[in-house]
Amino acid sequence: MGRKKKEYQDIRITDIGDKGQAIGRDGDGVVYFVPDAVPGDVVDVLVLRKKSSYRKGIVTRYKSYSEERTKPKCTHFGQCGGCKWQHLDYQSQIKYKEKKVLDVFRRLGHIEIKEQRPIIPCAKIFYYRNKLEYSFSTRRWVSQEELDTQEEVDFGQAVGFYKAGHFDKIVPITKCHLQDDLSNQIRNYIDQEARKFDWTYYNIREHHGLLRNLIVRNSRLGEWMVIVVFGENVEEKISEVMAAVHQRFPQLDSLQYVINEKMNDSIHDQVVLAYNGKNHIIEQLGEIKYKIGPKSFFQTNTQQAKVLYDQIVELAQLKGDEIVYDLYTGLGSIALYIAKGCCKVIGIEEIPEAIMDAKENMDLNKIENAFFEVGDVKDQFNTDIIKKYGRPDVIIVDPPRPGLHADVVNTILKAQPEKIIYVSCNPSTQARDINLMQEDYTAEIIQPVDMFPHTHHIENIALLKKK
C-alpha cells in the first residue's frame, strides 16, 4: 500500500522556477514547486514528491489570490499548455523573466556582469507568432471537469496542441490568440471537413491515420504558407484534402504537403511537395528581405526579431572592417542583417535547405560579402574554416536550447575574437557556456528581450569582450 500523500497549508508563492512552475515557501523556509499558481498566491499543496531540499505537488486550494493575476484572454487557458502565464499580468511576466536571467547568471554561471540592461518587452503580446504547428490525434484530452459532468464525454479525434506531459492527447483548439486569425480558420476548416469526409486523424500509439500535422506560417508582408503533413500515403485522400484547402483558401501564397510515415513528427528529413504557389514566403526585417522555406528556422516573433537584431547591431558596434562569424545562422538571418556593417560575415548552419535559403537571400538582398557553410558547427567551425575566411573579430552564436558543444567553446577560445555576442533562448545553458569563457572574456552587457509573452521562455543577449 502506498504512503498517504500529505497536504501542507498556507504556502506563499514567491517566485517562478526555470520551467515556469511556481515556487513557494512555508514558514520553515521549505521550498515547494507547484504548477499553475503565480507569485503572491497563498495556497494549500498536496505533496506528491518529497526530497530533503524541496517538495513537489499540486494546489488543492487557493487561500488568497495574487494581485499580479489577470484574467486570461483564451478560453483554452488551463487546458492548453501553450500560454501557461496568461493569468499573470504582462508587467509581472517580464519582471520574473528578467530576474530569472540574473539568477542563472549569478547562481549557475557565477558570472560577474558589468552592465545588466532592463528587459525589452513586446509591444504586441497577442497574435505575435508567425508559425504554429498543430497536431491531429485520434484521442483528445478530456478534462476532469468534463469527466465530472453526468453527460456523455466524447473521447474522439481532435486537432490542436498536445496536452503538456501527454504524448498522445490533444487539446482541441478552436481559437488561438498567438497567430493571425487565418490560422484558426484554416485549422477549423480542415477539422470540419475531416468529419464530413472521414479523413482519419493520426493514431500516435499505432502509427496510422491520414492527417498528422498542420504547419501554418505567415509574414508581415502578408504572405502565408501552409504545410499539411500526412501520416499515410493514400493518394486519393491526400488530393481531396489539398484540393479542399486550396479551394477554400485561394489566397495562400504557398500550399505544400509532406507524407511522413516515420515514427517522429520532424519533417527535416522528409520531402516537402508543392501543391500550389511558391515553395517559400518572403519576410522583411528593416531593409533585409528573407526567403523562408518550409524547413528553415525563422524567429517566431517577427516584430521582436527586429528588436533583437537591432540590439545585436548596437552591441557589436561594427566599424566596417571586421570579419564576423554567425554560428547557427539558420537562413542567414543575423548574418545578412549585419553584412553591410562589416568586411565579411560567415554563417554556419546544419540544415542544408536553410543554407540554400541563406544563399538565395544573399542574392535577393544583393549582398556579396556573406559566405555560408553547411554542417554541424562543432565540426565545421574549425581551423580550416578560419584559415579559409580569416580570423574572427566578432563571433555571434545563437544555438538551440542545449547551448554550445564543448568543442565549439574551445574553438572560439582558440580563435580569440575581440567580441562574442551570445544570443540564447535558454539562459541556463548560456550561463554555463559563458562560465567556461570567463578566464579570457568579461561579460560586459546582458540584454534580455522578451519574444514569447505568456510563456516562461526568454531570449537573452550577452556581449563578451576579450580581457
Catalytic residues: 425
**Residue 374: what are its φ and ψ, rounded to 5°?**
-105, 140
At 317, list the grid cell: 558596434
**Residue 105: what are its φ and ψ, rounded to 5°?**
-65, -40
By CB under 6 A, residue 354 contacts ligand SAM: yes
CA distance 291 to 353: 11
Contact assessment for residue 433 and residue 410, using Cβ atoms and an 8 Å cutoff:
no
Question: Crossing angle, helix 406-415 and helix 427-437, to 10 degrees?
Answer: 40
By CB under 6 A, residue 352 contacts ligand SAM: no
Instruction: Identify the H or E element spanning 91.
Output: helix 90-107
Give the shortest CB-425-to-ligand SAM separation in angstroms: 6
Q: What is the per-residue binding string for ligand SAM in 300-339, x denoting contact by CB under 6 A? A: ----------------------------xxx--xx-----
CB atoms within 10 A of CB 172: 18
Residue with cell 584559415: 387
Nearer to ligand SAM, 255 or 354 (CB): 354
Nearer to ligand SAM, 354 or 431 (CB): 354
Give the shortest CB-19-to-ligand SAM separation in angstroms: 19
At 237, list the grid cell: 485522400
Q: Which residue has the CB atom at the shortest distance from ligand SAM?
A: 330
Nearer to ligand SAM, 238 or 316 (CB): 316
Residue from 68, 191, 253, 398 that binds ligand SAM (CB under 6 A)?
Answer: 398
Query: Number of residues in contact with ligand SAM, rule: CB under 6 A?
Result: 17
Contact assessment for residue 58 and residue 48, using Cβ atoms and an 8 Å cutoff:
yes
Give the shortest CB-391-to-ligand SAM separation in angstroms: 21
CA distance 220 to 379: 35
Q: Which of residues 168-207 bind ligand SAM (CB under 6 A)?
A: none
Q: What is the per-residue binding string for ligand SAM in 282-301, x denoting contact by CB under 6 A? A: ---------------xxx--
Nearer to ligand SAM, 377 or 446 (CB): 377
Give the shortest CB-49-to-ligand SAM separation in angstroms: 32
Burial class (CB within 10 angstroms; exposed 0-12, middle 13-18, buried 19+) of 405: middle
Q: Is the dihedral of CA 23, 165, 7, 50 positive or negative?
A: negative
By CB under 6 A, residue 400 contacts ligand SAM: yes
Interface residues toward ligand SAM, by CB under 6 A = 297-299, 328-330, 333-334, 349-351, 354, 376-378, 398, 400
